[in-house]
Structure 1
Amino acid sequence: MVVRRAALIALVGTLLAVPVPASAAPDPGGPDLAQPVAADPAVVDPDPPVDDGRVASTPPATTKSPDGWTLTISAKDEVQMPIAPLTTAISSREYTVGGIFNGKLDGPSGSPKGVFEVGYQIGCGIDMSTSNGVALAGTMGVNASLGIIGLDFPNNAAEGLLPGIGGNIGGGITVGLKPGIINTVPVTKKEYKGDAPWVSISNFHVKIDGCVGESFIRSYATLSKSTDEGDAILSWYGVTKKI
């Protein structure tokens, strides 16, 4: 009886000593926190684009003359780049410009002739070139006076008169400003004979002085067809660029 009880106690102790495996936790299915997360490319700001001076050209301009000729002006590959003026003056504006400008004439038989002009227009917010500019203004004057001496104590008579002289000096700076103007700078006036005149401009410098504040630049072209009876004239203007 004693032997059976001892064997039962030993069997229970053995069962309690056997380790019970822990139940496996379910996989949450989330990302591995140890792995780096890639940055969203939409959040990272790219480097600002560098202004290479390229300007989109406006659509071609066209007209039809009374004698049946169709005139057309177009442009492409335009460049307008602001540069530091050689004078280093803050009232000067200088640009490097370029482009290809084409004229086209369609009409009755014959060889038309005329002038193809190409250039640039620069607008200034404030113009100093036709005003007085910066000027110094000043005033000077002399004042004479008489003073009574001998009245330092009460009941004393005046002992005499003391003459005196004084002066005043004033000064200031005046700046003469006028509303802005448009400066037209023709680059070339090509006399042509044919139906397809063209002008190619490359690395041409345009400069104006006396310009304060913002400035604006745009290209222009004028095509004229001349006959003994009359002239047909067409103008085209490019995109306005603010500097």
Structure 2
Amino acid sequence: MVTGVAAVAVAVGLVVGAGPGTAAPATFPDHQVSKTTADGWRVTAIKADEKVRSVAPLNQSPWTREGFLSLRGEGRITGAGRTAVSAGTITAGFQIGCNTDVTSGITLGITAGPTAQMSISWPPALIVGAQANGNISTTLKPGTIANIPFGTKKLAGPSAGLTVDGVHVKVDGCLGPVAVRAYTTLAISTPTNDNTINVYGQPHYL
């Protein structure tokens, strides 16, 4: 029986300064996707202010990847639709992929095949006016991707957004690259149609 676990922990915190072995945050272009719904509304999902900063892991393990993520997601509704929009949400987050679990043969209280255990926790108050998803846990099999929403905000008008800054990511027990990809999702509903659009960033490696 193969035993093992690879863990990913994510938490939000403000990053002040840079310690030894850190690199300046890499910034990436903003992207947006616009579509016209069947009701005639023009909807736009925006991924903005994305930053990825890889740092040397505090535990100095060759099997650990660590970094900090920042992102803003925005949603806009324009035009003159035939039916009123009754609800809408904007969600922003990252997709995180672990390439290969290297903890086989180490027993950590889990008797199963290779998996990557991911957990997310941060104070919801850091995202004012939005619903932050704290205390999330999920299981990744190596070679798959987890879709991790960092927060969701309801639209109270034609536009809304949310920002997360300094999201701490630590991946243990992974061999090879750990990839992250930002995304923003805008979903709206009318009495006659539901529409969802997504915009994605490029994959980056910790």
Tell me the TM-score normalized by structure 1.
Answer: 0.54
Secondary structure of the corresponding residue to residue 189 of structure 1 = strand
**Is residue 122 from structure 1 mapped to residue 96 from structure 2 by the alignment?**
yes
| CA displacement 1:66-115 (0-9 Å, x = unmatched) | 00111112233221112344565544433211133221111226565311
Q: CA RMSD in A?
A: 2.9
Offset at 1:57? 2.4
Q: Give the alignment partner of residue 198 of structure 2, picking from 235, 240, 243.
A: 235
Q: In the aligned structure 2, how far is the partner of 1:52 from the partner of 1:73?
A: 28
Larger radius of gyration: 1
Letter in 2 for 1:123: G
Instruction: Give 2:120's aligned residue.
Output: none
Change in 2 beyond 3 A, CA 1:188/1:176:
closer
How many pairs align? 153
Is the CA contact (8 Å cut-off) linking 2:181 and 2:203 kept in structure 1? yes
Report which of the two has the higher share of strand.
Answer: 2
**Is residue 134 from structure 1 mapped to residue 105 from structure 2 by the alignment?**
yes
**Is residue 113 from structure 1 mapped to residue 63 from structure 2 by the alignment?**
no
Q: In the aligned structure 2, how far is the partner of 1:209 from the partner of 1:183?
A: 15
Instruction: Give 1:64's aligned residue.
Output: 36
**Is residue 100 from structure 1 mapped to residue 72 from structure 2 by the alignment?**
yes
Secondary structure of the corresponding residue to residue 121 of structure 1 = strand
Secondary structure of the corresponding residue to residue 60 of structure 1 = strand
Instruction: Give 2:149's aligned residue.
Output: 186
Long gaps (5+) in structure 2: 1-21, 108-112, 116-140
Q: In the aligned structure 1, how far is the partner of 2:153 from the partner of 2:43?
A: 16
Offset at 1:214? 1.1
Q: Give the alignment partner of residue 46 of structure 2, picking from 67, 70, 74.
A: 74
Secondary structure of the corresponding residue to residue 154 of structure 2 = strand
Letter in 1 for 2:199: W
Instruction: Give 1:24's aligned residue.
Output: none
Long gaps (5+) in structure 1: 1-49, 137-174
Structure with the bigger RCO (C-alpha within 8 Å, sep 6+) is 2
Instruction: Give 1:9's aligned residue.
Output: none
Report which of the two has the higher share of helix.
Answer: 1
Q: In the aligned structure 2, how far is the partner of 1:86 from the partner of 1:104?
A: 40
Q: Give the alignment partner of residue 187 of structure 2, picking from 210, 224, 239.
A: 224
